[in-house]
């Protein structure tokens, strides 16, 4: 064997092998993002929607967060799979925002998903707050993702401009509106991925007030091929029955006292009638700064049943009322007038 042949078969050093291994793993990870493929037509419709607002509803463990992470990853890196619509692709650098419930647990899940799907070489820097939670991700191409939570004050969500907004799980309306303004300049897109356990305003926004603006994607039960039916059923067996419509079928339920599972209109609503004057009565006021006071008048019968005999505002869905011109003295007058009536 001559000297040139010896050079060809030179054994690489350990450092060279490690570097080659890292390169191979990174190439595979890069390929993972662009090789992402939705597992069914419903998932695919999320990525191919023509609307600027998209809401993905579905049961737990059906890949909603993975879908959101993939879409954000495409926009962040500028690397898109062949099937992604060309006219919806963004040219880096892009500005995006992700809204989560809180940093400690939800933020941890999000960061793990980003590390799982984003190529490591696409990320230049992770930004953390003083508590050590990731609040921003900067790309080597100049793209940036800011991460905010429901717990922050609304003013923290104001004053940004971006190409896309992702809300992973239901978002309070004031935070949504504050972030939505930031999409106006670039005609940006917003998308929700959620199990609808809270925020009933979102149901009104999508299905009643602005249905023409939204594309709704409903993920089917047991559609996720990576989760066994047995495992999912075992999870559902431990779920509170009041949450089953949301966790099993991705249907809206209004929790936190807004809806009572035992309530029956046939049983609990009776024709208007005069209540005995000797029944004890009380009045409850829930004051608000911008919206009208929510008030109720109640009586207790000899069997300790509570009768609701009046409420304010009347004949309106309170959560739809966003403001009022009434002052405190106006509400005092309303209360006095009610208490002067013969019930």
pLDDT in tens, 159-184: 999 999 999 988 999 999 999 999 99
Quick one: pLDDT at residue 218? Answer: 86
Reply yes or no on whether the pLDDT at 24 is more than 80: no
- pLDDT band, very low/low/confident/very high, at 246 (cuts 50, 70, 90): low
C-alpha to C-alpha distance for 81 and 36, rounded to whole angstroms? 7
Quick one: pLDDT at residue 327? Answer: 77
- pLDDT band, very low/low/confident/very high, at 330 (cuts 50, 70, 90): confident
pLDDT top residue among 63 and 336: 63
C-alpha to C-alpha distance for 146 and 98, rounded to whole angstroms? 6
Quick one: pLDDT at residue 118? Answer: 95
C-alpha to C-alpha distance for 145 and 330, rounded to whole angstroms? 46
* Mean predicted confidence (pLDDT) in 12-39: 74
* Mean predicted confidence (pLDDT) in 25-41: 78
In angstroms, what CA-CA distances link 48 with 81, 158, 248? 12, 29, 25
C-alpha to C-alpha distance for 144 and 147, rounded to whole angstroms? 10
pLDDT top residue among 311 and 341: 311
- pLDDT band, very low/low/confident/very high, at 56 (cuts 50, 70, 90): very high
Computed over every residue of the chain, the mean pLDDT equals 83
* Mean predicted confidence (pLDDT) in 93-121: 96
Residue pair 175/158 in contact by the 8 Å Cβ criterion: no
- Please state which of the ranges 8-22, 87-101, 108-122 shows the lowest mean pLDDT: 8-22
pLDDT top residue among 129 and 286: 129
Reply yes or no on whether the pLDDT at 89 is more than 90: yes
- pLDDT band, very low/low/confident/very high, at 109 (cuts 50, 70, 90): very high
Quick one: pLDDT at residue 341? Answer: 60
Residue pair 66/135 in contact by the 8 Å Cβ criterion: no
How much of the chain, in percent, has pLDDT values that exceed 70?
A: 81
Quick one: pLDDT at residue 255? Answer: 40
132-141 tens-digit pLDDT: 999 999 999 9
C-alpha to C-alpha distance for 2 and 7, rounded to whole angstroms? 9
In angstroms, what CA-CA distances link 30 with 17, 89, 164, 242? 20, 18, 22, 42
How much of the chain, in percent, has pLDDT values that exceed 90?
A: 45
- Please state which of the ranges 54-68, 73-87, 179-193, 263-277 shows the lowest mean pLDDT: 263-277
Quick one: pLDDT at residue 72? Answer: 98
């Amino acid at each position: 064997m001559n000297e040139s042949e010896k050079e060809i078969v030179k054994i690489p050093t350990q450092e060279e092998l490690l570097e080659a291994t890292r390169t191979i793993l990174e190439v595979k990870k890069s390929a993972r993002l662009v090789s992402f493929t939705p597992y069914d037509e419903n998932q695919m419709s999320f990525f191919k929607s023509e609307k600027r607002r998209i809401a993905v509803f579905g049961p737990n463990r059906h890949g909603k967060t993975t879908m959101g992470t993939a879409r954000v990853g495409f926009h962040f890196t500028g690397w898109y799979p062949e099937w992604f619509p060309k006219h919806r692709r963004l040219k880096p650098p892009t500005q995006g925002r992700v809204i989560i419930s809180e940093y400690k647990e939800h933020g941890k899940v999000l960061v793990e998903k980003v590390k799982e799907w984003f190529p490591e070489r696409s990320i230049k820097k992770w930004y953390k707050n003083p508590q050590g939670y990731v609040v921003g991700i900067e790309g080597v191409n100049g793209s940036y993702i800011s991460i905010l939570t429901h717990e922050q004050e609304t003013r923290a969500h104001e004053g940004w401009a971006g190409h896309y907004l992702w809300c992973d799980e239901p978002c309070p309306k004031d935070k949504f509106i504050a972030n939505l303004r930031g999409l106006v300049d670039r005609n940006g897109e917003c998308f929700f991925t959620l199990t609808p356990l809270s925020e009933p305003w979102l149901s009104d926004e999508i299905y009643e007030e602005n249905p023409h603006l939204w594309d709704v994607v409903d993920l089917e039960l047991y559609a996720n091929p990576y989760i066994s039916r047995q495992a999912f059923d075992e999870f559902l067996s431990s779920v509170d029955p009041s949450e089953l419509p949301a966790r099993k079928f991705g249907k809206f339920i209004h929790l936190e006292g807004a809806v009572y599972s035992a309530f029956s209109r046939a049983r609990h609503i009776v024709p208007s009638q005069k209540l005995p004057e000797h029944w004890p009565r009380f009045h409850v006021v829930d004051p608000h700064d911008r919206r009208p006071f929510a008030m109720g008048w109640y009586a207790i019968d000899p069997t300790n049943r509570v009768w609701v005999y009046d409420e304010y505002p009347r004949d309106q869905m309170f959560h739809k009322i966003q403001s009022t011109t009434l002052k405190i003295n106006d509400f005092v007058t309303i209360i006095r007038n009610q208490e002067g009536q013969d019930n």
